[in-house]
Amino acid sequence: MHVVIVGSGPSGLVLSLLLSKAGIKVTLLDAGSTVDDRPRAAHYAPSAIRVLREAGVLDDVRKEGFIPRDFTWRKRDGSKVASIMDTVESRGPDGLTVLPLNMLGQVLLAHAMKKANIEIKWNHTVTSVGQDDTSVWAEAKLKDGTVVKTTGDYLCGCDGANSEVRKSLFGDVFEGKTWDAQIVATNVYYPLHDFGFSDINNIIHPEDYYMAAIISKDGMWRVSYGEDPSFTIEQVRANQPIKFERMLPGNPKPSDYKITNVGPYRIHQRCAESFRVGKITLAADAAHLVNPFGGMGLTGGIVDVGGLAECLIGIEKGLANDDILDKYSEIRIQKWKDYINPISSDNFLRVSATDPENPFEKDELLRLVKSMEDDETGEIKKSFDESVYDICHDFKQYYN
Ligand SMILES: Cc1cc2nc3c(=O)[nH]c(=O)nc-3n(C[C@H](O)[C@H](O)[C@H](O)COP(=O)(O)OP(=O)(O)OC[C@H]3O[C@@H](n4cnc5c(N)ncnc54)[C@H](O)[C@@H]3O)c2cc1C
Ligand SMILES: *[C@@H]1O[C@H](CO)[C@@H](O)[C@H](O)[C@H]1NC(C)=O
């Protein structure tokens, strides 16, 4: 079997490693000249950690990254609302792990380059895909305008939010909504631990809501905050020092911190109508988008490719036929609708639309976390930890 994957982002690379391990030949086509180095996602939940282990990269991910200790919701004055402690101990070997996406990409790329059955073609911008009864293909444009056709048995679109593969299947239809909000992701060196902050913090406030998490061993923090959606990038940059001084503990001036990146972006909740048309499938951001609060986006995407790999490997081994790809589509969409979409929406509303003076009144999760703090038996925490696997699904159960 030969699988063509469009996009060498994190989802495409993880899928290629899983397939390669089962002896399947993979060709990756990517428009860029190497892995994207923009700072984006950084947190991978236990459900995704299992897939990274299966792909053979977890040890290296853990060597570069680390497991955060505590997660706290706070008011803008820094005072604690509720906190989850000991994320390491209770989540055992699958503990949530932090590694900035660009660094994860480097780890994945280094592994993929060592595999004889993975070929990565950079500078290949896919412009269309097609299929007939026996094969599937992608047409890519090179920088000099030449068009190259790559043919295989199956094709997966892992080409991100603006997926060309999705557009070739469904045009501009991508059901869902765009929030009336703008999020600014910044990377900054500022010692938030000195102000009593946890490794991950969510600050609840109608205008100055933000997420602050330490994301590198050398003390870099990701601070992602809400900004006026009408602001241009210039206005965002001009307002950033004012926001930081008002919302961060210690009310820092620009000379008090070192900021290395300011990246504004819009946020969405969207899902494609199907993740399969014939021998073409969609996964991760190409298939669905969520806002970044709670880190459900790429975690969900990595879990997708874990499931898709099980389906394709089943077909390769003669243990399943193409119908298993319908299961892939149906179940991954259902998981998005039942868990990923509502949980990520609630995560965003919890920080941006909850009364910080009355946080428990309407918010079930905060009440649960509070009850965990007081529960000496540890039973509530245990069932909470188990619920993080709700988005997983074992596709091997459909093997003959
Ligand atoms: C600014 C920003 C900040 C973010 N912050 C967070 C965060 O804090 N937390 C979080 O959980 N998530 C965050 N995200 C989302 C997260 O980064 C994505 O969920 C994740 O990158 C999705 O991985 P992917 O492999 O599906 O797609 P991508 O990482 O987008 O990779 C897609 C790949 O496909 C390639 N490609 C695209 N089109 C074509 C084409 N036509 N032909 C060939 N190749 C193509 C691209 O070059 C790229 O390499 C952020 C996203 C952005 C943009
Ligand atoms: C891709 O294009 C860039 C120039 O934009 C070039 O530097 C690089 O060598 C190319 N990569 C490959 C693998 O051809």
Q: What is the DSSP string of 303-326?
A: HHHHHHHHHHHHHHTTS--TTHHH
For ligand 2, atom 3: residue with the closest CA: 33
Q: Is the C-beta atom of 189 inside 6 A of ligand 2?
A: no
Scan for tokens 């950079």, then name that residue. 122
Distance of CA 161 from the midpoint of ligand 1 (Å): 7
Reported as a single tens digit per residue, the pLDDT across 44-101 is 999 999 999 999 999 999 999 999 999 999 999 999 999 988 665 566 789 999 999 9
For ligand 1, atom 41: residue with the closest CA: 126
Reported as a single tens digit per residue, the pLDDT across 260-272 is 999 999 999 999 9
Q: Is the C-beta atom of 359 inside 6 A of ligand 1?
A: no
Q: What pLDDT does 386 receive?
A: 87
365 neighbors 350 (Cβ within 8 angstroms): yes
For ligand 2, atom 1: residue with the closest CA: 33
Q: What pLDDT does 385 receive?
A: 85
- Lowest mean pLDDT segment, chosen from 84-98, 218-232, 243-257, 372-386: 84-98
Q: Residues 179, 126, 5, 60: what is their CA dihedral angle, to the nearest 10 degrees?
A: -70
Q: Is the C-beta atom of 195 inside 6 A of ligand 2?
A: no
Percentage, residues of the chain above pLDDT 70: 98
Which ligand has its closest atom nearest to the C-alpha of 12? 1
Q: How far apart are CA 103 and CA 65, in angstroms?
A: 9
Q: What pLDDT does 376 receive?
A: 84
Mean per-residue pLDDT of the chain: 95
Distance of CA 384 from the midpoint of ligand 1 (Å): 29
Give DSSP secondary structure letters for 254-299: GGG-EEEEEEEEEEEEEE-S-SEETTEEE-GGGTEE--STTSHHHH
Q: What is the CA radius of gyration of the chain?
A: 21
85 neighbors 47 (Cβ within 8 angstroms): no
Reported as a single tens digit per residue, the pLDDT across 285-332 is 999 999 999 999 999 999 999 999 999 999 999 999 999 999 999 999
Q: Is the C-beta atom of 14 inside 6 A of ligand 1?
A: no
For ligand 2, atom 4: residue with the closest CA: 33
Question: Given the CA of residue 264, which atom of ligand 1 is nearest to it?
Answer: 1
Question: Given the CA of residue 122, which atom of ligand 2 is nearest to it?
Answer: 13
Range 349-377 average pLDDT: 91
